[in-house]
Structure 1
Amino acid sequence: MKLMSYNILNGAKDTLPLVIKAIKSESPDYLTINEANTFASNNNEILDKVAKELDFPYFDIALSGEYDYHVAVFSKYPFLEIHKLQPLARACLVTRIKTEIGELTIASLHLTPYTEDLRHPEIDLITKFQKKYVNKILMGDMNSLSKYDGYDSKIIKTFNDMQIKKFTTGGKFRFDAINKIMSVGYYDSAFEMKKNKDYTAPTSINEYSAHSNMRLDYIFLSKSLLNHLKDYFVIKNNITKKASDHYPITIELK
């Protein structure tokens, strides 16, 4: 079973064919899309179109708490449950599905981009909701850094005001959002596969304006799923470097 998480930059307004091509080449069984802007417009017109082109029979969307940064999910498996959690600055959609490796509860989320402190209550909301389930997955753009990724503090001097607020306090990196997720029983699939130094943003779309190479997109698993984790990848190729400002990530479960 393959799961993919992909932030497609403002709904991939000008690059949606590339995004679809990138996803098709990986053929995921479960897909989370962050920044599904306009997907819900005109009675879910783009949401329906994407699902049809990618051959996903099951799909849904959670609307953003502010602006248009929705979270969309697409699945080959029927949804046994669907929950749309709020309040969040962006969105979180939780589903329960039955697969060949058992029932999974998957939280597809996009944490607030503003500050680390503002991400804490969103993490609390999501992890407390998932607590009652056994086989749990958290996936999406966390807008947060991991202490295990070896960031050099010297790059803070190159940050603009937005990046300083987003990733630091008092001139030092903040890692406590990811620490919080891991402290309540979630395991970082990239770290487990020793691939956590591979950045997920930026791409060639914004390599000069956004930020230094950073891993912002994650797929976390509960301990019960670690034995099923086969691999983790950041999908980097000539298509994905032009399709969005983030690279898609995938995991394979066996």
Structure 2
Amino acid sequence: MKVMTYNIKTGGRDGDGRSRLDEIIAVIDDQRPDVLALQELRGFGRRGLLDRFARALGMTPYLARSWVGQSVAVLLRPPGEALSAGPIRGPFLHAAARVVVDTDRGPLVVVGTHLDPFRGRRRLREARWIAARLRRDRMALLMGDLNSLDPWTDHAERIERLSARYRSRHMLPGPTDTVDTRAVAELERAGLVDLFRHAPGGGREHTAPTTEGGGHEFSGMRLDYILGTPAVAKLARACRVVEGGAAERASDHYPVVAELDLSFRPGRR
């Protein structure tokens, strides 16, 4: 099973109205994920856009709307089907979608989310809310743009490259020079494993910005994650950032993919 997370940037459209959806579809189709988590789906809840997008990929979509920020979705490729699906209700600026799929090793919970990009305290609250709804002794994946640097890396140089306007997003509040890594650290304490570190696939390490997709608020940062409970981490073969070709311009984020020793169990309903 291949899983993928991708922040497609403002619904796949630029401020001048130019659509990047064909390039985004090309990036995704080249990877052919079985499970796909998408973020920044501005406008995808109107006029059947999500359904058309999903049909172009041959996938089934499950949308979690946001009434304040931007919606997210989890998509499944046949023969995968949802045993249950719906939004995680909670204190999200954006949203979180929860889909349960049946696999050859039992049910797999997939959560796709987009944490608050602006305020570290709210980002931490969102991370805690999700962590409290995942059981570490079950198979579960958390994928998405977490907007948080990790607690294992020295981030001093990349923080220094940010303008003061954006640096504050990644620093603890008050008179301190400490990088705010609390959201990812909280998820790790809850038992989730960073598959990129656990099963590295080589290549690029940062997920934002891309070379041609904008992203002036980034400075070579890994903000997009695929995390799994220990039961899923044991099944991870590789995890890597997708780069090159259309991925350089389709969004300001690179997608992340992971390969798991799992397969769908179809026809259970």
Same-fold status (TM-score > 0.5): yes
Between the aligned partners of 2:49 and 2:246, the Cα distance in structure 1 is 21
For each residue in 1:65-97, what CA deviation from the matched residue of structure 2 results, as whole angstroms up to 9, or x when unmatched? 413x11011102111111312220010001111
Structure 1 regions of 5+ residues with no counterpart?
none
- Give the secondary-structure state (helix, strand or coil) at the position aligned to 2:234: helix
Structure 1 equivalent of residue 131 of structure 2:
127
Q: 1:186 aligns with which of 192, 195, 209?
A: 192
TM-score normalised by the chain length of structure 1:
0.92
Q: What are the residue-to-residue correspondences of 1:1-254 with 2, within 5 Å?
A: 1-13=1-13, 14-42=19-47, 45-56=48-59, 58-67=60-69, 69-76=70-77, 77-85=80-88, 86-131=90-135, 134-151=138-155, 153-169=156-172, 170-194=176-200, 198-206=205-213, 209-254=216-261
The Cα of 1:133 is off from its aligned counterpart by 6.8
Q: Is the 8 A contact 2:8 2:41 kept in 1?
A: yes
Say how many residue pairs are matched.
249
Q: Is the 8 A contact 1:65 1:87 kept in 2?
A: no
- Alignment RMSD (CA, Å): 1.8
For each residue in 1:172-226, what CA deviation from the matched residue of structure 2 results, as whole angstroms up to 9, or x when unmatched? 2111211100001100000102469700110123557232101000000001112
Between the aligned partners of 1:33 and 1:207, the Cα distance in structure 2 is 18
- Give the secondary-structure state (helix, strand or coil) at the position aligned to 1:47: helix
TM-score normalised by the chain length of structure 2:
0.87
Amino acid in the other structure paired with 2:186: K
Between the aligned partners of 1:9 and 1:36, the Cα distance in structure 2 is 8
Structure with greater proportional helix content: 1
Structure with greater proportional strand content: 1
Cα separation, partners in 2 of 1:155 and 1:218, compared to 1, 3 Å: closer
- Give the secondary-structure state (helix, strand or coil) at the position aligned to 1:21: helix
Between the aligned partners of 1:16 and 1:79, the Cα distance in structure 2 is 25
Cα separation, partners in 2 of 1:208 and 1:102, compared to 1, 3 Å: closer
